[in-house]
Amino acid sequence: MSKFIPEHESMEMWVVCTALGENTELFEKMKKNEDGSYSVVLSVGGVELDFNRFCKRLDEATQELTMEKAKQLVDEKYSTVFDELEDIIERLEHQKKELFAYDWEKES
Q: What is the pLDDT of residues 38-79, one digit of tens each?
A: 999 999 999 999 999 999 999 999 999 999 999 999 999 999
User: 3-class SS at 9?
Assistant: coil
Residue pair 13/19 in contact by the 8 Å Cβ criterion: no
**Interior/surface letters 59-83, b for 16+ CB within 10 angstroms, e for the rest:** eeeeeeeeeeeeeeeeeeeeeeeee
Q: pLDDT grade, residue 86 (50/70/90)?
A: very high
pTM metric for this prediction:
0.63
Give the model's pLDDT for residue 89: 95
Beta-carbon count within 10 A of 4 CB: 19
- Mean per-residue pLDDT over the chain, rounded: 89
User: 3-class SS at 45?
Assistant: coil
Angle at 53 between CA 7 and CA 25, to 5 degrees: 45
Provide mean pLDDT across the span 17-36: 87
Q: Highest mean pLDDT range out of 17-21, 45-49, 102-106?
A: 45-49
Q: What's the CA gap between 13 and 79, in Å, rounded?
A: 39
